[in-house]
Amino acid sequence: MSSWDIRNGSSVMEFIFVGFSVTRNSQLGLFFLFIAAYLFTILANVTIIIVVVLNHQLHTPMYFFLSNLSFLDIWYVTVTVPRLLVDLLIGKKPISIMACFTQFYFFFVCGATENFLLMLMGYDRYLAICRPLHYLTIMNTSACIRLVTSCWTMGFLVVIVPMVLIANLSFCGPHELDHIFCDFSPLLRLSCTDTSSTEAIFYALAWAVLLGCCVFTMVSYVFIISTIVQISSDTGRSKMFSTCAGHLTVVLIYYATSTFTYIRPSARNSFAMDKAVSVFYTIVTPILNPIIYSLRNKDMKVALRKTLRNWDNSLGKGHVGKVSLS
């Protein structure tokens, strides 16, 4: 037993994820479904980042924030999905307690940072629609960088307290974690010490981050919608709504699933559908983000076609050059 285990009073050195209680054929089916979703998420979000970087017309605050959200979603799925794929393909494998805590920390860092980024994107839309004359002055380049840096910094800092609390719990067995990744509630259920204070502090932080960011975003949209409905032109209203529809859709989906999971009263009395809900916000939501922001966004579609044409032209010129040299 290591010095950390002695100090922590823990006799459990590793956990095993229970995962999904399905047949072997169903596990293989889930494996191919999840790996397809994972690869699509990575490809789609990388594409968004590349398109934003390569197209000067997308060098605006909105797309700068969107590219940060895409970068975050890449890490969001990478924290949990590869390990889930391994378990589905080759069976349940143990994960060390320190690796589990590391996954716990970075998963919630990504979750907290996404809350702050979605709130920031809502504030950006508020400024663009409700205060258009001051928008570029307020959302200048240095301000955008500071705001995004603050989102990432707060995401890393706010999870330190629950991480320390979880790491100082005692785990005496059993070592089967009834989930698909190292989430808060399943870890709490395995602890053999009093977790009431840990649970209270975690949910206080969850309420502060989730509800705080959600309320701020919804207030922004109250002002946005009240401004849009005052526009006399139907075309103008439609254009304004289209610029906000994607972000609002993502916000509603994200907060619906996150609130269900992390703002319920007791972690020890969680519902049996937690695993299914966790699949939704760890796998499905990161897929929906690029689809909603790219397929429903005219500027993004135009920029994507332009990027593809430029690549085709570059490849064509390279091919011609090689032929002429031969």
Domain CATH number, residue 121: 1.20.1070.10
**3-state class of 301 per DSSP?**
helix
CA distance 254 to 80: 17
Residue 320 lies in a domain: no
Residue 319 lies in a domain: no
Q: 28-37, 69-78, 234-243 — which is least confidently predicted?
A: 234-243
pLDDT in tens, 34-53: 999 999 999 999 999 999 99
User: b vs e for 209-243, b when ≥16 Cβ sit within 10 Å of the residue's Cβ?
Assistant: bbeebbebbeebbeebeeebeeeeeeeeeeebbeb
Residue 12 lies in a domain: yes
pLDDT in tens, 156-168: 999 999 999 998 8
pLDDT in tens, 98-134: 999 999 999 999 999 999 999 999 999 999 989 989 9
Residue 112 lies in a domain: yes
Q: How many domains does the chain have?
A: 1
Residue 324 lies in a domain: no
Q: Domain residues for 26?
A: 4-309
CA distance 17 to 92: 7
Is the pTM higher than 0.75? The answer reads yes
Q: First and final CA of the chain: distance in angstroms?
A: 67
Cβ neighbours for 302, distance < 8 A, ≥ 6 positions apart: none
Is the pLDDT at 245 greater than 80? The verdict is no
Residue 215 lies in a domain: yes
Residue 223 lies in a domain: yes
Residue 213 lies in a domain: yes
